[in-house]
């Protein structure tokens, strides 16, 4: 398993992790005229499209919500959370293969690589999430103190993503089809999660099946916080918590047993 010594080694490379994260952010706008403005431009465009096109032009309705911003809030809450999950999982799955040459040339804890990805993706999410909160404030839909309920929900989501990503990323070194399969599964997984559509309009049999989707209670929690301005159903998060624990265990176990063979396989 991951030992105290291994975590100590990772901590010793904290400067390398932070430097890599900074370089990744810098390369995104390197050589452009507007520089870091592009970090906020894309998220603002996404929020604008959801608000103007979906909320005002298409005018989809949510049962029990008459606000012109209701659907855009519902959609943004789900899409932002899903994008974080999808981006981190996709990058974690291919992280060891992508940095194969680096692993062969340098000696450093392999655990550094997924930590770099998770840190970078999380910081990017924080920027987008801050813009979403500003949108809520300016539109008069800020949920108030209950916004802090997103922290435990986000912690569960990050644990689920990290565990699943480490497990699949380790297996992908030996079976490269895992990365391609993950990209395909994520496409279906998105549409099997009530993000664009409301679950209230689905048949009971479909709703029952959705309960086996660990991302659905998490997405529902975000939507409840930002649309209903209420605390989520904490008991409803028991299933994604259990799934996160299982994949954290599998991720750590597979990494512990196979890390010595990763460089040889690459």
Which residues have C-beta within 8 Å of that of residue 152, sequence separation ≥ 6?
237
Query: Which of 159, 147, 170 lies closest to 118 in space, CA to CA?
Result: 159
Residue 89 pLDDT = 94
Q: Is-contact 88 166, C-beta < 8 A?
A: no
Predicted structure pTM score: 0.88
Q: Is-contact 91 177, C-beta < 8 A?
A: no
Measure the CA angle with vertex 225, ends 223 and 229; round to 5°.
120
Share of the chain above pLDDT 70, in %: 83
The Cα 89–Cα 169 span in angstroms is 9
Q: What is the pLDDT of residues 76-124, one digit of tens each?
A: 899 899 999 999 999 999 888 887 777 777 776 778 888 888 998 898 8
Task: Say how many residues make up the chain.
Answer: 266
Q: What is the pLDDT of residues 111-144, one digit of tens each?
A: 888 888 899 889 889 988 998 899 899 888 999 9
Residue 160 pLDDT = 95
The label of the residue with tokens 């904290």 reads 14
Three-class SS state of 111: coil
pLDDT of 59 > 60? The answer is: no
Q: What are the backbone dihedrals phi and psi of residue 253, each rounded to the nearest 5 degrees, phi first?
A: -65, -50
Three-class SS state of 27: helix
pLDDT of 38 > 90? The answer is: no
Three-class SS state of 26: helix
Q: DSSP assignment, residue 99?
A: T
pLDDT-derived band at 199 (thresholds 50, 70, 90) equals: confident
pLDDT of 54 > 70? The answer is: no
Q: What is the pLDDT of residues 237-255, one digit of tens each?
A: 999 999 999 999 998 888 8
Could you state, in order of their start, the residue ranges of all structural domains in the chain?
Answer: 4-26+37-265
Two structure tokens written together for 144: 């108030």
Q: How many C-beta atoms lie closer than 10 Å to residue 194's C-beta?
A: 22
């Amino acid at each position: 398993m991951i030992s105290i010594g291994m975590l100590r080694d990772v901590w010793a490379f904290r400067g390398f992790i932070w430097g890599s994260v900074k370089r990744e952010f810098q390369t995104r706008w390197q050589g452009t005229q507007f520089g870091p403005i592009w970090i906020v431009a894309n998220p603002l465009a996404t929020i604008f499209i959801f608000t103007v096109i979906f909320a005002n032009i298409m005018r989809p309705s949510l049962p029990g919500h008459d606000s012109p911003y209701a659907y855009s809030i519902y959609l943004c809450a789900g899409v932002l959370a899903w994008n974080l999950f999808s981006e981190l999982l996709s990058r974690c799955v291919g992280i060891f293969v992508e940095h194969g040459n680096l692993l062969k040339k340098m000696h450093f804890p392999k655990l550094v690589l997924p930590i770099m990805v998770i840190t970078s993706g999380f910081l990017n999410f924080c920027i987008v999430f801050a813009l979403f909160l500003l949108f809520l404030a300016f539109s008069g839909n800020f949920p108030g103190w209950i916004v802090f309920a997103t922290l435990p929900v986000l912690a569960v989501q990050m644990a689920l993503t990290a565990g699943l990503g480490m497990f699949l990323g380790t297996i992908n070194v030996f079976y490269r089809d895992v990365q391609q399969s993950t990209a395909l599964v994520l496409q279906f997984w998105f549409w099997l999660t009530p993000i664009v559509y409301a679950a209230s309009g689905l048949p009971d049999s479909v709703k029952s099946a959705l309960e086996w989707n660990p991302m659905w209670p998490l997405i529902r929690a975000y939507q409840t916080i930002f649309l209903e301005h209420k605390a989520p159903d904490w008991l409803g998060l028991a299933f994604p918590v259990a799934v996160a624990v299982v994949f954290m265990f599998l991720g750590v176990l597979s990494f512990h047993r196979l890390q010595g063979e990763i460089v040889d396989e690459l």
